[in-house]
Amino acid sequence: MDKALTQTIHRALTRHANSQESLVEMLREINAELGYLSAETLGGLADALKLPRSQVLSVASFYSMLDLEPRGTHVIKLCQDAPCHVAGGQEIWETLERELGISFGATTPDGKWTLLTTSCIGACAVGPVMMVDDDIYGNLTPERVREILAQVADQDRAGGRT
Amino acid sequence: MVYRAHVLICGEPRCVEKGARDVEAALTQKIQELGLENEVQILEASALGHGEQGPELVVYPEGVHYVNLRPEDATRIVEEHLFKGRPIAELQYKEPPSEPLPAPSHKEIRVVLDKIGKIDPENIDDYIALDGYAALAKVLGGMSRDEVLVVLKTSGLRGRGGAGFPTHLKWSFAKNAPGDVKYVICNADEGDPGAFMNRRVLEGDPHAVIEGMAIAAYVIGARQGYIYVRAEYPIAISTLRVALAQAREYGLLGENILDTHFSFDLEIRMGAGAFVCGEETALMKSIEGVRGMPTTRPPFPATSGLWGKPSNINNVETYANVPQILLKGGAWFASMGTEKSKGTKTFAVAGKVARTGLIEVPLGITIREIVYDVGGGVLDGKKFKAVQTGGPMGGCIPEKYLDLPVDYENLAAVGSIMGSGGFVVMDEETCMVDIARFFMEFTQEESCGKCVPCRVGTRRMLEILEHICAGKGKPGDIEMLETLAEKIGFGSLCGLGQGAPNPVLSTLEHFRDEYEAHIYEKRCPAKVCKALIEYRIEAETCIGCTRCARNCPVNAISGKAKQVHVIDPETCIRCGICAQVCPVDAVKVE
pLDDT averages per 10-residue partition of chain B, 590 residues: 81 79 90 88 74 82 86 91 86 62 74 89 93 96 96 96 92 96 96 86 96 98 96 89 96 96 95 89 94 92 95 97 97 94 93 88 95 91 93 93 95 91 91 94 91 96 97 96 96 93 96 96 93 92 92 90 92 87 90
For B8-64, write each residue's pLDDT tens digit.
Answer: 888 777 778 788 889 999 999 999 988 888 888 888 776 676 767 888 888 888 778
CA distance B378 to B367: 12
Q: What is the percent of chain A with per-residue pLDDT over 70, rounded to a whole number?
A: 98
Q: What are A's interface residues with B at a Cβ cutoff of 8 A?
A: 19-25, 27-28, 55, 58-59, 62-66, 79-87, 91, 94, 98, 118-127, 136, 138, 142
Query: Chain A: residue nearest B191 by CA?
Result: A120
Q: Is B583 on the interface with A (CB under 8 A)?
A: no
Measured over the CA atoms of residue B443, residue B449, residue B453 and residue B458, the dihedral's sign is positive
User: Domain locations in chain A?
Assistant: 3-62, 74-158
CA distance A130 to B2: 52
pLDDT for the residue numbered B49? 66
CA distance B194 to B266: 28
CA distance A60 to chain B (A): 8
B 337-366 residues with CB below 8 A of A? 348-352, 356-358
Is residue B112 a contact partner of residue B346, using CB atoms and an 8 Å limit?
yes
CA distance B272 to chain A (A): 5
pLDDT for the residue numbered B99? 45
Q: Is B288 on the interface with A (CB under 8 A)?
A: yes
Cβ-defined contact of B350 to A86 (cutoff 8 Å): yes
Q: Is B506 on the interface with A (CB under 8 A)?
A: no
Cβ-defined contact of A83 to B233 (cutoff 8 Å): no
Task: Catalogue the E-assigned strands of B23-177.
Answer: 40-45, 57-60, 64-66
Cβ-defined contact of B273 to A136 (cutoff 8 Å): no
Kindly state the greatest CA–CA separation across chain A: 51
Q: What b-and-e string marks burial along A22-35, b requiring 16 or more CB atoms within 10 Å of the CB?
A: bbbbbbbbbbeebe
Cβ-defined contact of B350 to A125 (cutoff 8 Å): yes
3-state secondary structure B524-577: CCCCCCHHHCCEEECCCCCCCCCHHHHHCCCCCEECCCCCCCEECCCCCCCCCH
Instruction: Determine which of A36, A49, A119, A145 to mutate to test the interface with B (most B C-beta atoms within 10 Å).
Output: A119
Q: Is B194 on the interface with A (CB under 8 A)?
A: yes
Give the DSSP H/E element, type plus range, for residue B148.
helix B145-155
Cβ-defined contact of B191 to A119 (cutoff 8 Å): yes
Cβ-defined contact of A82 to B438 (cutoff 8 Å): yes
Which residue, B447, B112, B71, is CA-closest to B282? Answer: B447
Q: Is B267 on the interface with A (CB under 8 A)?
A: no
Is residue B36 a contact partner of residue B78, using CB atoms and an 8 Å limit?
yes
**How far is the CA of B3 from the CAs of B23, B28, B30, in angstroms?**
21, 15, 17
CA distance B530 to chain A (A): 11
Is residue B137 a contact partner of residue B252, using CB atoms and an 8 Å limit?
no
pLDDT for the residue numbered B96? 54
3-state secondary structure B7-43: EEEECCHHHHHCCHHHHHHHHHHHHHHCCCCCCEEEE
Burial class (CB in 10 A: 0-12, 13-18, 19+), B9: buried
CA distance B342 to B153: 11
Domain architecture of chain B: domains with CATH = 5-91 (3.40.30.10), 124-332 (3.40.50.11540), 344-427 (3.10.20.600), 432-520 (1.20.1440.230), 534-589 (3.30.70.20)
Cβ-defined contact of B272 to A24 (cutoff 8 Å): yes
Compute the count of residue pairs across chains A and B with CB atoms less than 8 Å apart.
Answer: 137
Q: Is B329 on the interface with A (CB under 8 A)?
A: no
Instruction: Determine which of A24, A55, A131 to mutate to test the interface with B (most B C-beta atoms within 10 Å).
Output: A24
Cβ-defined contact of A124 to B196 (cutoff 8 Å): yes
Q: Which class is A74-158 in CATH?
A: alpha beta
Q: Is B192 on the interface with A (CB under 8 A)?
A: yes
CA distance B270 to A123: 19
Cβ-defined contact of A23 to B290 (cutoff 8 Å): yes
pLDDT at A114 over 60: yes
Query: Chain A: residue nearest B199 by CA?
Result: A122
Cβ-defined contact of A91 to B576 (cutoff 8 Å): yes
pLDDT for the residue numbered B46? 67
CA distance A153 to A66: 26
Q: Is B199 on the interface with A (CB under 8 A)?
A: yes
Cβ-defined contact of A65 to B422 (cutoff 8 Å): no
Instruction: Determine which of B442, B448, B551, B581 to mutate to test the interface with A (most A C-beta atoms within 10 Å).
Output: B442
Cα dihedral angle (B8, B14, B18, B19), rounded to 10 degrees?
A: 40
ipTM over 0.85: no
Task: Catalogue the E-assigned strands of B46-188.
Answer: 57-60, 64-66, 183-188
Helices (H), chain A: 3-15, 23-34, 39-49, 53-62, 82-84, 90-100, 142-158
pLDDT at A14 over 80: yes
Query: Chain A: residue nearest B448 by CA?
Result: A62
Cα B22–chain centre separation: 41
